[in-house]
Structure 1
Amino acid sequence: MLALSPAAGDLEVLCLGAHPDDVEIGCGATLLTLAERPGTTVRGVVLTGGGGPRETEAREALPRFVPGAEVEVHDLPDGRLPQHWDAVKQTLEDVGRRTAPDLVLAPRTDDAHQDHRLVGDLVTTVWRDALVLHYEIPKWDGDLGAMTHYVGVDDATRARKIELLDASFPSQHARDWWDPEVFGGLMRLRGMECRAPYAEAFRAAKVRLDLGSGPQEGAR
Structure 2
Amino acid sequence: MTVSLSAPLLVALLAAATAAAGADRPLRRRFRRPRLLQVLAVGAALVLVPANIAYGLASRSGAGPAADGTTTGVQVASLAVLGGLVGLCGVLRIAPAPARLPRRVLAVGAHPDDLELACGGTLLRLVDSGHEVHIMVMSHGGRGGDGNVRAGEAESAGRFLGASGIEVLDLPDTRLARHENEMAEAIERAIRRHQPDLIFTHSGNDQHQDHRAVHLATLRAARQHPAVLCYESPSVTAGFRPSVFVDISDQLDAKVCAVATHHDQRAKPYVGERQVRGLAAYRGGQARVPLAEGFEPVRMTVPLIEEQR
Superposition TM-score tier, normalisation by shorter sequence: 0.7 to 0.9
Mapped partners of 1:179, 1:197: distance in 2:
20
Taking the TM superposition and a 5 Å limit, the aligned residue runs for 1:137-176 are: 137-139=233-235, 143=238, 145-154=240-249, 156-166=250-260, 168-176=261-269
Return the structure number with greater relative CO, CA threshold 8 A, min gap 6.
1
Q: Hey, what does 1:105 align to over in structure 2?
A: 200
Mapped partners of 2:126, 2:300: distance in 1:
20
Give the unaligned 5+ runs of structure 1.
1-6, 211-220
Residue 144 of structure 1: CA displacement? 6.3
Task: Please give the secondary structure, in 1, of the residue aligned with 2:294.
Answer: strand
Find the partner of 2:133 among 30, 42, 46: 42
1:86-131: CA deviations, max 9, x gaps?
Answer: 2222222222332210011111122111111111122232222341
Q: Hey, what does 1:201 align to over in structure 2?
A: 294
Q: Hey, what does 2:217 align to over in structure 1?
A: 122
User: Residues 8, 129 of structure 1: CA spacing in aligned structure 2 closer, same or farther, 3 A cutoff?
Assistant: farther
The total of aligned residue pairs comes to 200
Find the partner of 1:185 among 269, 275, 278: 278
Q: Aligned pair 1:22/2:118, yes or no?
A: no
User: Residues 124, 8 of structure 1: CA spacing in aligned structure 2 closer, same or farther, 3 A cutoff?
Assistant: farther
Moved more, 180-189 or 92-101: 92-101
Find the partner of 1:88 among 161, 180, 183: 183
Q: State TM-score, norm by structure 1.
A: 0.83
Q: State TM-score, norm by structure 2.
A: 0.60
User: Residues 85, 153 of structure 1: CA spacing in aligned structure 2 closer, same or farther, 3 A cutoff?
Assistant: closer
- Which residue identity does 2:278 align to in structure 1? G
Q: Hey, what does 2:156 align to over in structure 1?
A: 60
Is the contact made by 2:180 and 2:217 (CA closer than 8 Å) also made in structure 1? no
Q: Percent identity?
A: 32
**Greater helix fraction, Structure 1 or Structure 2:** 2
Task: Please give the secondary structure, in 2, of the residue aligned with 1:85.
Answer: helix
**Greater strand fraction, Structure 1 or Structure 2:** 1
State the structure with more CA Rg. 2
| Backbone CA RMSD of aligned residues | 2.2
Is the contact made by 2:117 and 2:271 (CA closer than 8 Å) also made in structure 1? no
Is the contact made by 1:105 and 1:135 (CA closer than 8 Å) also made in structure 2? yes
Mapped partners of 2:188, 2:225: distance in 1:
14
